[in-house]
Amino acid sequence: MECPSNILEYLDSIKMEARIPREKINHIREITDSLHDCSKCSEEELLSLLGHMNFASQVILPGRSLIMCPIS
């Protein structure tokens, strides 16, 4: 019988840690790098970046306040 995992996507209940998976960090970096080179971006691209950053802000404590500025 297989035991259920104690590690969710970003929460490790054994170590009592929250962490962002490396794949998501790399994806956020790719998005920010591509937008950094552009003088303009579409609403879809911006919302995609904000969605990924919103996910990351669940782990990074002051992250939520940094995301609210571009939204308002």
Does a structural domain hold residue 58? yes
Domain-embedded: residue 65: yes
Range of the domain at 58: 11-71
The angle at the Cα of 30, spanning 28 to 31, to the nearest 5 degrees, equals 65
Please give the pLDDT value at position 7.
Answer: 47
Confidence band for 68, pLDDT divided at 50, 70 and 90: low
- Overall domain count for the chain: 1
pLDDT reading at 3 higher than 70: no
Top pLDDT among 5 and 15 is at 15
Domain contains 1? no
Question: Full-prediction pTM beyond 0.75?
Answer: no
> Would 2 be classed as within a structural domain?
no
What confidence tens digit (pLDDT) does each residue in 11-53 have? 777 877 777 888 888 988 998 898 888 888 888 988 888 888 8
Indicate whether 24 belongs to any domain.
Answer: yes
DSSP structure string for 25-59: HHHHHHHHHHHHT-S---HHHHHHHHHHHHHHHTT
Q: Is 60 helix (H, G, I), strand (E, B) or coil?
A: coil
